[in-house]
């Protein structure tokens, strides 16, 4: 089977599992999980996963800069703890995807 199918399967299954993880995180911080936040998180994790798969670690710095830049003028007052926990969990999930893809085949 083509390795691209494995990468897609790892991503899709991981995103389904991460949905449950982020549901718990939003409950822990007494926030609500919206469709836009789910889609934005999936897009961010997909971007990071592709960056790691094509061996462009500089993309992680680019992603970090984008996250900071979008946070500077944000009118939605999200606590720093919630922002930090969410981003760290997202990056750890992507690293998990990458490690699974590297050691699976």
Extents of the domains making up the chain: 3-104
pLDDT in tens, 74-101: 556 667 778 888 889 999 999 999 999 9
Model confidence pLDDT, tens digit, residues 54-66: 999 889 889 888 8
Token pair recorded at residue 33: 């999980």
% of the chain exceeding 90 in pLDDT: 50
Q: Give every CB contact of residue 29 below 8 A, 6+ residues apart in sequence.
A: 79, 81, 82, 85
% of residues, the chain, pLDDT over 70: 91
Three-state SS letters, 19-73: HHHHHHHHHHCCCCCCHHHHHHHHHHHHHHHHHHHCCCCHHHHHHHHHHHHHHHC
Residue 8 has pLDDT above 90, yes or no: yes
Specify the residue for token string 């990071």: 48
The CA-based angle 74-22-100, given to 5 degrees, is 115
């Amino acid at each position: 089977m083509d390795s691209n199918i494995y990468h897609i399967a790892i991503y899709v299954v991981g995103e389904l599992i991460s949905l449950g993880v982020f549901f718990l995180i939003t409950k822990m911080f007494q926030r609500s999980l919206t469709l836009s936040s789910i889609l934005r998180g999936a897009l961010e994790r997909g971007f990071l996963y592709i960056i790691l798969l094509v061996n462009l670690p500089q993309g992680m710095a680019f992603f970090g800069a984008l996250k900071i830049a979008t946070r500077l003028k944000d009118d939605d007052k999200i606590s720093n703890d919630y922002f930090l926990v969410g981003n760290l969990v997202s990056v750890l999930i992507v690293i998990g995807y990458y490690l699974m893809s590297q050691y699976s085949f």
